Every structure is written in C-alpha cells, then in structure tokens.
Amino acid sequence: MAKVTFREERCKGCKLCINACPKKIVIIKEDVLNAKGYHPAGVSDPEKCIGCAFCATVCPDCVITVER
C-alpha cells in the first residue's frame, strides 16, 4: 500500500495535484488554514492511493511525498 503525505505548512492550494490524481482522492481541505493563509491539499481516502506519484510530480512547491 502506498503512503502519501503533504507538508501542509508549505502548500499554497494551487490544486494542480487534484487534477493529476487518477483516483480522484486528492482534495483541498476547506476547513484547514495553514500559517500562510492557504487551504492545503490532502487525501480523502488514503487506502485508494495507488502510489503513482503524479500528484508529487506536478507540485510546484514539492510538498507531496509518496512512498510505496
């Protein structure tokens, strides 16, 4: 099973990772604000992650780590 983590304190909520995810499990956490005032990205259902790392590849701020 893959493990995906987001460094929420650095995420600016650009939503590029949302469009890149083939399983459509990456979301913007509307109920969370980081120190910079952005809603960070996260995963709605970690069990469905296939470890493709498309989200990490498109992230301009390198806030996503995918482990297989």
8-44 pLDDT, tens digit each:
999 999 999 999 999 999 999 999 999 999 999 999 9
Please name the residues in contact with 58: beta carbons below 8 A apart, sequence gap of 6 or more: 16, 17, 19, 20
Q: How far apart are CA 45 and CA 32, in angstroms?
A: 17
Q: How far apart are CA 61 and CA 47, in angstroms?
A: 24
Query: At residue 68, does pLDDT exceed 90?
Result: no
Which CATH number covers residue 25? 3.30.70.20
Structural domain total, the chain:
1
Contact 1, 47 (CB under 8 A): yes
pLDDT bracket for residue 1 (50, 70, 90): confident
- The predicted pLDDT at position 52 comes to 97
The reported pTM is 0.90
pLDDT bracket for residue 46 (50, 70, 90): very high
Domain containing 14: what range? Answer: 3-67
Distances (CA, A) of 49 to 25, 34, 35, 46, 60: 7, 24, 27, 5, 20
